[in-house]
Structure 1
């Protein structure tokens, strides 16, 4: 594995830690790894979408505020790769989350595709597609 691939692999460990913070109500780590440049897009689990870096950041901040401490998240990465200044991963994000409007924890499994762009030597999230995973989807 070359240096750039190792660097992206290390970034993906950070990305998973960022997801853990997010499901505990803290959007700041995600903001730090998100692009501030356009294009940027987010396709949300409920079928919505946002375009533009500022709108995506605002959407993420609003959504993170719905989560409470005591939540957990982990990635099941099917594959990931990088080439030049673009990288991606696809897989399932499994989470057990505590929502502000619910007493009991909620289990979530989302099919995830994320694209990253190298900006000034740092990987930045430029696109996230998340939708509900149903176990029947797995072959």
Structure 2
């Protein structure tokens, strides 16, 4: 079984691909089991594995090929079959041919399913300031 700290390298790589318009890596890490949730930066709350996966897929299609992402992990832990991380996601995404910086406050929850970590909830909103 993969330690959560090792898995986070895979998660961050999937986030970078997502910011280049490639949603498949995030979908591969996302649960297909209940419960699942997504509180996106657009303010919407999505519930259920299929609607969450659809929201992730739709989100990735907004971005062009010249994006990147990096996590600043403030906290992370695992216990048994549950894990989480919280911190910042600093990204540059291509929207309508322009590079746009996007800094998000993020908390993600994971559940071990059949020996693999799966994303079961993401809460991401825009960072307004740092202290």
Pairwise TM-score range, normalised by the shorter structure: over 0.9
1:25 and 2:21 equivalent? yes
Cα distance in 2 for residues equivalent to 1:103 and 1:126: 32
Paired residue for 1:8? 4
Return the match for 2:97 from 78, 103, 108: 103
Bigger share in helix: 1
1:127 and 2:121 equivalent? yes
Tell whether the 8 Å contact from 2:105 to 2:125 is kept in structure 1 after alignment: yes
| Displacement after TM superposition at 1:104 (Å) | 1.7
Q: 1:83-94, aligned counterparts within 5 Å? A: 83-94=79-90
Return the match for 1:67 from 63, 66, 90: 63
Cα distance in 2 for residues equivalent to 1:121 and 1:110: 29
1:117 and 2:111 equivalent? yes
| Displacement after TM superposition at 1:103 (Å) | 2.8
Q: Which runs of 4+ in 1 moved over 6 A?
A: none
TM-score, normalised by the number of residues in structure 2: 0.97
**SS state at 1:105 partner:** strand
Let me know the Cα RMSD of the aligned residues. 1.1
Q: Which runs of 5+ in 1 are unaligned?
A: none
Per-residue CA deviation, residues 98-128 of structure 1 (Å, 9 max, x unaligned), is: 02xx232100000000000000000000000
**SS state at 1:67 partner:** coil
TM-score, normalised by the number of residues in structure 1: 0.91
Number of residue-to-residue matches in the alignment: 131
Q: Which runs of 5+ in 2 are unaligned?
A: none
**SS state at 1:68 partner:** coil
